[in-house]
Structure 1
Amino acid sequence: MSLYGYARVSTIDQDLTLQENALRAAGCDIVRSEKVSGTRRDGRNELELLLAFIRPGDTLVVTRIDRLARSIKDLQDIMCMLKERGATFKATEQPVDTKSAAGKAFLDMLGVFVEFETNLRRERQLEGIAAAKGRGVYKGRRPSIDPAEIRRLHEEEKIGATAIARRLGIGRASVYRALASNTRS
């Protein structure tokens, strides 16, 4: 019957200390933390490690549910996995504890708002990008591939796609696309 804490922030500039301290104060013997986006589960190795290690009677603890998941689907998937393993979930800053019916209901309600907040943030970001494009300020990411250099290496130095990809530090598919776009032009 152990308490396992999980702390997460989205960017490397953010600090995990407050979450980690709150989880230890809540009685967590083990606290795993990571700096990665919560919008998807892939790439969240510390969370996957905790979920693989958790046993019947254990509790996964976070400070707020948005630290665990940013979508209803991810949240429900994690909750199903915990239930299958006989474990429970608790949030220290919100009245969420899946040992009770009220805690489960509140978890579902908060999950809706977490996903809503994520969707609002995405909409605002897209609106900002559209406005910046309208003003001519936003040009997008700078190209990381120089098609002219790819063509030069291929035509003048007679280098194959694999060697070009290695030399430029790009994928072979990018080399093939650049060469194909040259033949279409």
Structure 2
Amino acid sequence: MSMTFFYARVSTTDQTAAHQRIQAEKAGFTINEVVADEGVSGVSTKLADRPGGSRLLGKLREGDTLVVRWVDRLGRDYQDVTDTIQALMNRRIVVRTVINGLVFDGAAADPMQRAVRDALISFMAATAQAQAEASKEAQRAGIAHAKGRDDAYRGRKPSYSRAQLEAVRAQLAQGASVSAIARDTGLSRQTVYRIQEDPAEAEAALARWSA
């Protein structure tokens, strides 16, 4: 009997695997088992080297479906993501994403279908890496901006957490609407607009209030 696994990787204390599962179920997925890595960075650690990732790879069997929130959950960078998805497809495991409802299936036999599928994998992996690099750059700029301000002036305390800020940036990069992002993150539309208009200041506000 085939199984549907949901893999969650959360790298900050205010994210939870349970929240990601709820998002997947709201998107229409029926999950048989959840495997998670919490407090694990996806930037420096391959899927197979994470405790949960290693356990997941040992559980998956031919015909199973693996659901992830987005392809960046599966690897550190472009090459790692594409290699991981290809290896899963070679095992006849279907990979599906919650965001955008993408499906990567190794059973495709038609050369044109395979070409389109592989091109999409490459594009999505490249997008994930570009978003991660943009997030790191915005964070560096925000911290530098915060350090350049008078320490006695911190301004209004941010109404969002680190996890919410990262979620907003990720979904903006994927083309999600402000209204949809607000619903998903629990933030107001005005807050999402502010983050969209000045991501460096959004980072700076978190940095000023981190102490």
Tell me if both proteins adopt one fold, taking TM over 0.5 as the criterion: yes
CA distance in 2, matches of 1:75, 1:64: 11
1:121 Cα deviation after fit? 1.7
Aligned partner of 1:116 among 130, 136, 142: 130
SS in 2 for 1:94: helix
Matched, 1:40 2:37: no
Q: Which amino acid in structure 1 is aligned with residue 29 of structure 2? A: A
1:32 Cα deviation after fit? 0.8
CA distance in 2, matches of 1:2, 1:10: 26
1:133 Cα deviation after fit? 6.0
Name the CA shift for 1:81/1:136 in 2 (closer, same or farther; >3 Å).
farther
SS in 1 for 2:37: strand
Aligned partner of 1:98 among 101, 104, 107: 104
**Structure 1 partner of 2:141:** 127
Summarize deviations over 1:123-176 as a string: whole Å, max 9, x none: 223334455666797xxxxxxxxxxxxxxxxxxxxxxxxxxxxxxxxxxxxxxx
Summarize deviations over 1:1-58 as a string: whole Å, max 9, x none: 2211101222122122231124455122111122222213355211121112212122
Q: Which amino acid in structure 2 is aligned with residue 113 of structure 1? A: T
1:70 Cα deviation after fit? 4.6
CA distance in 2, matches of 1:75, 1:10: 17
CA distance in 2, matches of 1:103, 1:97: 9
Q: Which amino acid in structure 1 is aligned with residue 30 of structure 2? A: G
Matched, 1:80 2:86: yes
1:66 Cα deviation after fit? 2.6
Identity %: 30
Contact 1:4 1:31 (C-alpha < 8 Å) held by counterparts: yes
TM-score (norm 2): 0.55
**Structure 2 partner of 1:19:** 20
CA distance in 2, matches of 1:28, 1:90: 12
Let me know the Cα RMSD of the aligned residues: 2.6
CA distance in 1, matches of 2:58, 2:34: 14
Name the CA shift for 1:126/1:22 in 2 (closer, same or farther; >3 Å).
closer
CA distance in 2, matches of 1:103, 1:46: 27
SS in 2 for 1:109: helix
Name the CA shift for 1:23/1:126 in 2 (closer, same or farther; >3 Å).
closer
CA distance in 1, matches of 2:42, 2:149: 31
Taking the TM superposition and a 5 Å limit, the aligned residue runs for 1:100-179 are: 101=113, 102-131=116-145
